[in-house]
Structure 1
């Protein structure tokens, strides 16, 4: 990865965990990923960022499951 390019923090200031307590409903990260974000390398951040779309499928297009 190019050292001059930094991976942006995916936080969107909607900071609450899903009902299972697994992922943040805003950014899709786990509590461990959120807590370690500042210490992660850009490669680690890119790996986490690549996982986020699968954790937040169809955001905003479906009603929450009961």
Structure 2
């Protein structure tokens, strides 16, 4: 009997980038709503870190309305 957990692929957390890369006066991208620092960190953080960044994006989206 094989262990299916050893064959499981890690979940991929997709970038929110939409190809509109311009930071506003608050250092937040007008396309994806990540801060400049979050954009820089994206390639280095693990999936949990990426989810934390996405929570910040969701919060900014809620506050922008």
Length-normalised TM-score, structure 1 = 0.72
Greater Rg by CA: 2
Which is helix-richer, 1 or 2? Answer: 2
Aligned residues between the structures: 58
Q: Which consecutive unaligned segments of at least 5 residues does structure 1 have?
A: none
Stretches of 4+ moved more than 4 A in 1?
none
1:58 CA drift (Å): 8.0
Q: 1 CA distance for matches of 2:50 and 2:21?
A: 18
Q: CA RMSD in A?
A: 2.3
